[in-house]
Amino acid sequence: MNTRLNGIGMTSQRTRLRMIERLREQGIKDEAVLAAMFDAPRHLFIDEALASRAYDDVSLPINFNQTISQPYIVARMIEILRNGKPLGRVLEIGTGCGYQAAVLAQVAREVYTVERIQPLYERARRQLRDLKLRNVSVRYADGSAGLPEAAPFDGIIMAAAAPMLSAALREQLATGGRMVLPVGTQEQWLYVVERDANGFRETKLEPVKFVPLLMGKA
């Protein structure tokens, strides 16, 4: 058994099962998402000093004023993105430590993930490569404009709060696709944007708290 992947003590499979039970209690119903959350070794994406809290339902610091989102919000956003259907090509804006990309890799055919902070990009790329997630492509770029060269996407998911819904990102959605993102500055809300043959439909879901989306590379 690879103890690094499976964890020991506070990062063990038993601890992960408790996380999955908690996610069910919080209303997550998508079995594919729950399986992906169980399999993704969250403890490998955070500092060793915080590993004992890896499967708690909390966001944790990952340096550079960034955080790894709490498991519930990762599961919730991916469940909304999937909408009960298999995902083809997905764009993630804000790779961070790479954890959400590792979950997405198990429920999507292809994952493109963009990070603007170079040390985070390098760390995430190395970690995802070590996990042999070959369907994930990590890019060092300003994700606020999306990734037009790889569009269209069946799903777009954003891990930072945009001040408003982006027309450029909407245009990179495939027909039948969905975008899930936090929007707002002082007060943030989770939105889902759906594209069909008639255009776009935006739905405001629930209050959330994310780091702000910043422009440019760092």
18: in domain: yes
Per-residue pLDDT reduced to its tens digit, 41-59:
999 998 888 888 899 999 8
Q: Can you give the C-alpha Rg of the chain in angstroms?
A: 16
Whether residue 216 lies inside any domain: the answer is: no
Would residue 217 count as lying in a domain? no
Residue 10 predicted with pLDDT over 60: no
Hey, which residues are catalytic here?
Answer: 69
Nearest to 78 by CA among 180, 148, 182, 154: 180
In the chain, the number of structural domains is: 1
More confident residue, 74 or 4: 74
Q: How far apart are CA 147 and CA 188, in angstroms?
A: 24
Give percent above pLDDT 70 in the chain.
94
Mean pLDDT of 2-12: 54
From the number of C-beta atoms within 10 Å of its C-beta (0-12, 13-18, 19+), residue 21 rates as exposed
Domain assignment present for residue 123? The answer is: yes
Give the per-residue pLDDT at 216: 65
Residue 113 lies in a domain: yes
- According to the model, what pLDDT value does residue 218 have? 59
Residue 214 belongs to a domain: no
Q: Tell me if 218 is assigned to some domain.
A: no
Does the pLDDT at position 65 exceed 80? no
Q: What is the pTM of this model?
A: 0.92
65 within some domain:
yes
In the predicted structure, residue 112 carries a pLDDT above the cut 90: yes
What is the span of the domain harbouring residue 178?
3-208
CATH number assigned to the domain comprising residue 178: 3.40.50.150
pLDDT score, position 213: 81
